[in-house]
Amino acid sequence: MDFTGKVVMVTGGSRGIGRACAVAFAKAGATVVLSYAGNEAAAEEAVRLAGPNAKAVKFDVRDTAACTKAIEDVVAEHGRLDVLVNNAGVAVDGLSMRVRDEDWDLQLDTNLKGAFALARAAARPMMKQRSGAIVNLVSVVGEMGNAGQVAYAASKAGLVGLTKALARELASRHIRVNAVSPGFIETDMTSKVPAEMRKRLLDSIPLARLGTADEVAQSVLFLASDAASYTTGEVLKVNGGMYM
């Protein structure tokens, strides 16, 4: 999986899975542009870890004009865009009867509308190149559902549909669109799960452990690479067997 000479954008690249993806692509030889919404210190650390061929850009994926400009800026600076990783996402948990409209909108706009806006913008230079790969980060929750995460599940399930439809639309231009569906991964968020809940969670995973961000990143790299040249419209599960 050699990405030498390739230009890659990773959204939500300052922490967690996004950071792991940015670092992995950079180690594989890519020029990496990672986006972040607000945590400048985390973004700077991600760039440091990724190395000299990485840079961070700040914008809100809910702003479709900002998404378009971010893609245009990458192409203007580097002359091309080979891979887009739609990783930026947010979750606001709550039972359906208590979900506020603004929390619903936040999750749908960030997780689904933002991914579409970026994919739409990225498709233009990729169509001119007649090559490219888009990888969307979905979730096991979008596949199997989860009480207390109706908005998050809906946004991620929508992203699965978006992946498959875009894959059909863009295949004739040699652009592949796939998704990686992580299960429960060791991140800042899961580190705060109470011990009893964590035990119940581990009991539901056949591999009996949480995954790592690096394990997810390797699946993203595979789907973006020439090693997956005949794969499009696929949702690759990285969940330890939790949902098959």
Res. 97 pLDDT band, cuts 50 70 90: very high
Q: What is the pLDDT of residue 115?
A: 98
Average pLDDT value for residue range 93-99: 96
- Is 244 inside any structural domain? no
CA angle (183, 189, 195) in 5-degree steps: 85
- Cβ pair 70, 59 in contact under 8 A: yes
- Is 98 inside any structural domain? yes
* pLDDT per position as a tens digit, 219-244: 999 999 999 999 999 999 999 999 99
Average pLDDT value for residue range 192-221: 94
Average pLDDT value for residue range 99-103: 98
- Is 2 inside any structural domain? no
Residue count of the chain: 244
For 220, list phi and psi in degrees, rounded to 5: -65, -45
Res. 192 pLDDT band, cuts 50 70 90: confident
Q: Does the structure show a pLDDT above 80 at 166? A: yes
Within 13 Å of residue 191, how many CA atoms lie on the same side as its CB?
A: 6
- pTM, full prediction: 0.97
Res. 188 pLDDT band, cuts 50 70 90: confident
Structure tokens at 37: 């919404």
Q: What is the pLDDT of residue 22?
A: 98
Q: What is the pLDDT of residue 234?
A: 98
Please tell me the total count of domains within the chain.
1
> Which amino acid makes up residue 211?
G
Q: Does the structure show a pLDDT above 90 at 19? A: yes
Res. 128 pLDDT band, cuts 50 70 90: very high
- Is 178 inside any structural domain? yes
Q: Does the structure show a pLDDT above 80 at 190? A: no
CATH value at residue 216: 3.40.50.720
- Cβ pair 243, 183 in contact under 8 A: yes
Mean pLDDT score across all residues of the chain = 97
Residue 143's domain spans which residues? 7-238
* pLDDT per position as a tens digit, 106-127: 999 999 999 999 999 999 999 9
Would you name the residues annotated as active-site residues?
152
- Is 222 inside any structural domain? yes
- Is 243 inside any structural domain? no
CA angle (159, 215, 14) in 5-degree steps: 65
How do beta strands 54-58 and 83-86 pair?
A: unpaired
- Cβ pair 179, 136 in contact under 8 A: yes
* pLDDT per position as a tens digit, 46-57: 999 999 999 999
Please give the share of the chain, as a percent, with pLDDT higher than 70: 100
- Is 223 inside any structural domain? yes
Res. 213 pLDDT band, cuts 50 70 90: very high
Average pLDDT value for residue range 10-32: 98
- Is 87 inside any structural domain? yes
- Helix (H) and strand (E) counts in the chain: 9, 7
Q: Does the structure show a pLDDT above 80 at 177? A: yes
* Helix 40-50, helix 16-27: angle, nearest 10: 30
